[in-house]
Every structure is written in C-alpha cells, then in structure tokens.
Structure 1
Amino acid sequence: MRTGGARRATVAMAALGSLLATLSACGGTGAAHTGDARQDTGAKASRTRQAAVDPTRIPDVGDRLQRRIPADSRQVVAVYGDGRDSADSTVVLYTKRGSTWDRARSWPAHNGKKGWTTDHHEGDNRSPVGVFTLTDAGGVLQNPGTKLPYTRSAAFAAPRWWAKSYWHDFDYVIAIDYNRVKGTPPNDPTRPEGQRKGGGIWLHMDHGSGTSACVSLSKPAMEYLLRTLDPDRHPVVVMGDRADLKR
C-alpha cells in the first residue's frame, strides 16, 4: 500500500510538474508574443510619426502659408497661438540645413490680447496671421550682439503712465514687417497700407499677458533671437493660431 501510495504520489507530482511546465511555457510564450506585439506596435507607430513629419516643411503649417516662406529663408520664427481668441502662444525657432528644417529653441509667449485675425485693423487687439520678414531691430538697451540693423533709442521707452510691468516691454524689439517700410527703425511710423491697417507690430519683451498685436517673449528669449537671427539667412516669422496655421 505504501508502495502504491508512493507510486501514485510520484505520478501526481510528475503530472503537476508537467502541468506547471506547460503553464510556464504558455506564459513565457505568451509574454514573449505580447512583448513582440508591443515592439511591433511601437515600431509601426514610430514609423507612422516619422512619415507624418516632413523635415522639409515647418511643422503644423499648411500649404497656404508654407508656400509664402521665401525659398532663400534659412531661419523661421514660428508663433503657434493656442487658439483664435487666446493670448497665449509658443514661439519656436527653426533653422534650415540643406533641405531640412531643424527645431533650435522654443519659448512660451503672448500675442494679441484678443487672439488672432486674418484681417488686422488698428485697435482690434488681435495679432495678424501670416508670414512676414524680419529685417530690423532696436530698443532702449544697447545692441546685445545682433546682426540685424539695430537702432538704440530712448524713444522706444514705454510711457511711464503705463503700468510698471509694461515699462521694459521695448528694451529689445524686432520689427515684424507688417505694413511697414523695411530698412527703417522699428518705430518708424510710415504705414504703406494706411493707418487703418495698423502697424508697429513687433517681437518684444513680455509683461506676462496679452499685447495690442505684438508677440512678446522673455528677455533671454529676445536676446537669443537677436544674437541668432542673421539677415544673410533671410529670417521670417510665421504666425497665427494653430487652426489658421494649418489651413
């Protein structure tokens, strides 16, 4: 009886061992298959993302505005507005090497306090959507080392009857060539398309909220742009809310 019991115990243990081995093998095989599937899925997703991003184009900018970027431009300051009626945006600097656009830097920013428009007018408190050249700079402070023509003048100083947080807005400015004469100081009042179309739209230092129509960034961001933008590389700004940029 003891021998028979031992035999039954041996058979039972063998069966259990076989079952555990089978479960272990299934689990191992299943885990391996799951891992392979995840790797395959991840690889496919990566390839899809790579295919979706064309390095010869500025990301998230549709054909309409993409075609307006001059062929000889090698620097693009892209301003991605959070929404049509939002004052919040992100500025990204792209530089071109060969036929490829590389993302160089990005910063949080502000735009017109009422958002964006494709038909800007004086006093609408919206930034104009479009592609504009960047040819001139200036400000209250001395030239930080820019290659752009730079006009230093106390005339840029914000009026002291403005809130104190605005006093340093124009310590550094880069003129956005909207309704202005290229090759003149940023504060030149000439408006070729007339006063009604607005003007005096700049990249300038940030005061923490929306602007009248300009795009504002931190002092370090402005210093970086001033030191990096090069007239020989024909810099432009591509700006608008994300929906309009993609059209």
Structure 2
Amino acid sequence: MFFKSLLLLFLAVLPAAAFELPSNSSQCVVGISDGWDSSNVTLTFYEKSGGAWKPVGDSWKARLGKSGLVWGKGLSPVPNGAVTKKEGDNRSPAGVFSIGGAWGYDSTVRKSPSQFYQKVTSRDLWVEDSASPQYNQHILLDHEPATAWEKKQQMKQDDDAHALKLFIAHNAPPNAVPNAGSSIFFHIWRGGGTKPTAGCTTMEKPKLQWVISRIDPARHPLYVLLPVADYQKYKAAWKLP
C-alpha cells in the first residue's frame, strides 16, 4: 500500500527544460550543498501558500554522503551524459524526490494522521541486495530472521542513528533499477553532525522529529537536493522554492 501510494507521485521522465515541480505539491525540503563533492548541506522547509513558496522556520545544517552527491533516480530528469547513483558509491542522490513513510524504534511518533509509520522490529528488513527482486523494498517477515541474507537486511540495528527514519523515494519500487542505489532516508546524524553518511541525509533528532510531524502526504511533500550552482541553474525552469 505504501509503495502504491508513492507510485502515484512519480512523473514521466521529461526533458530538463520541460520539468517543473508537481503543481499539487505544497511542502518541500530543500537541501543545498556547496558542490558535488561536499558532504555538508543546508536544509530549509518550505510550504506553498497563495501560489508562492515560503520558508517555515530557520534553515539548519545536515550531512550527506561522505563522497558528496550524484544524480539520483526520482521525479526530475537526469542531464544527458551525467553520472548517476550506484549502490555503495557513498554519494547522496541529487534531484527532486517524493518523501514520506516513516520507520522507527518507538511505538508512536508525532505525525500527520495519514502519514505511514512502522515500528521497526527484528522482523523488518530493507533489501539492499541488487540481485533480489525485492531490491530497495521494505519486507516484514513472519518469522525471526534465520538466514545470513535475512540478518544482513535487518532495519533494526544497534545504532541510535537508525532509531527514526523518513523515506526519500530515490530509485523507488516498482521501478527500482538494480545497483542504482537503495535505502535512502532522512535519519539521525552521528557524532553531533561530525560524521558523513553512506548516501542518506542526516540531521539532529529534534529537527527530524519536527520534519516528520510537519509533513502531510496530502500535500505531496518533496525533497530537492542540489549543489548551489545547479539549484540556481534549474530554479526558474523547475519552479523551485
């Protein structure tokens, strides 16, 4: 059901000049980095009112993949000839992505009533195996993980950074491409923000909790992640905040 809902948010791939943010989207997290090889990013939450995007609250610092960014597979088109996200490249996917669906270790979180939330147990898996037909999907086992493969895909880890997550729909089902990158989330940062990620976007826990409490699936929330030069390049044509 969760991924069927996400499917409705995807657009056909269009030439870069023709793409713009979906008109029915009225919430957007914008991430701007200094460049393609930077693992630091500044995030700003926007909402659309009266046809105009307006920031909600102050901007805040977050972290990206330790090798920086690379074009991802989301709503926005990829420039001709551009390098794209690959599994294990330690880069965060750049572009425009739907966001939604939260997972965490607690039984409840502050959220919109319509926002999907799954309490993570030892039986929750997220498949990062490119050879699996369930690549980049959530699986709920009807038994405790028994095989080495099942244990490797477990979402619940001995790591507070994974205690709360919000899904970023990069390379999302049902159109997930093998080896194009998986398990991309907003989650809690490590070391008070001193450590980069393997491709996710991380931030302090209170700010992530605030984002999850704020977003509303009915408003078709988005994540725009770009280096500053590319953000300025596409801002007008894509109707970015």
Report if TM-score (shorter chain) is over 0.5: yes
Deviation, structure 1 residue 216: 0.3
Separation (CA, whole Å) in 2 of partners of 1:65 and 1:151:
38
Separation (CA, whole Å) in 2 of partners of 1:239 and 1:116:
9
1:152 aligns to 2:119 (yes or no): yes
- In terms of Rg, which structure is larger? 1
The alignment yields a C-alpha RMSD, in angstroms, of: 2.0
Gaps of 5+ in 1: 1-62, 161-166, 182-190
Specify the alignment match of 2:218 in structure 1: 232
Length-normalised TM-score, structure 2: 0.65
Specify the alignment match of 2:172 in structure 1: 180
Cα deviation digits, residues 54-75 of structure 1 (max 9, x gap): xxxxxxxxx9599431100010
Distance 1:227 1:135, change over 3 A: same
Specify the alignment match of 1:80 in structure 2: 32
Distance 1:235 1:116, change over 3 A: same
What SS does the corresponding residue of 1:72 show, helix, strand or coil?
Answer: coil
Separation (CA, whole Å) in 2 of partners of 1:65 and 1:199:
27
Aligned pairs for 1:4-19 within 5 A: none
1:134 aligns to 2:126 (yes or no): no
Deviation, structure 1 residue 85: 0.7
Separation (CA, whole Å) in 1 of partners of 2:37 and 2:212:
28
- Out of 182, 190, 196, the position equivalent to 2:179 is 196
Deviation, structure 1 residue 192: 3.1
Specify the alignment match of 2:130 in structure 1: none
Deviation, structure 1 residue 175: 0.4
Separation (CA, whole Å) in 2 of partners of 1:113 and 1:228:
28
How high is the sequence identity, in percent, across the aligned residues?
A: 30
What SS does the corresponding residue of 1:195 show, helix, strand or coil?
Answer: coil
Deviation, structure 1 residue 146: 1.1
Deviation, structure 1 residue 143: 2.6
Specify the alignment match of 1:47 in structure 2: none
Asked if 2 retains the 8 angstrom alpha-carbon contact of 1:157 and 1:168, the reply is no
Distance 1:66 1:76, change over 3 A: farther
Specify the alignment match of 2:50 in structure 1: 98
Separation (CA, whole Å) in 2 of partners of 1:65 and 1:75:
22
Specify the alignment match of 2:232 in structure 1: 246
Asked if 2 retains the 8 angstrom alpha-carbon contact of 1:129 and 1:244, the reply is no
Asked if 2 retains the 8 angstrom alpha-carbon contact of 1:109 and 1:215, the reply is yes
What SS does the corresponding residue of 1:151 show, helix, strand or coil?
Answer: strand
Letter aligned with residue 55 of structure 2: R
What SS does the corresponding residue of 2:100 show, helix, strand or coil?
Answer: coil
Deviation, structure 1 residue 88: 0.6
What SS does the corresponding residue of 1:212 show, helix, strand or coil?
Answer: coil
Asked if 2 retains the 8 angstrom alpha-carbon contact of 1:68 and 1:131, the reply is no
Specify the alignment match of 1:34 in structure 2: none
Asked if 2 retains the 8 angstrom alpha-carbon contact of 1:65 and 1:245, the reply is no
Cα deviation digits, residues 104-131 of structure 1 (max 9, x gap): 1321100111001121010111111110
Deviation, structure 1 residue 142: 2.9
Length-normalised TM-score, structure 1: 0.64
Deviation, structure 1 residue 136: 1.1
Letter aligned with residue 116 of structure 2: P
Whichever structure has more helix as a proportion of its residues is 1
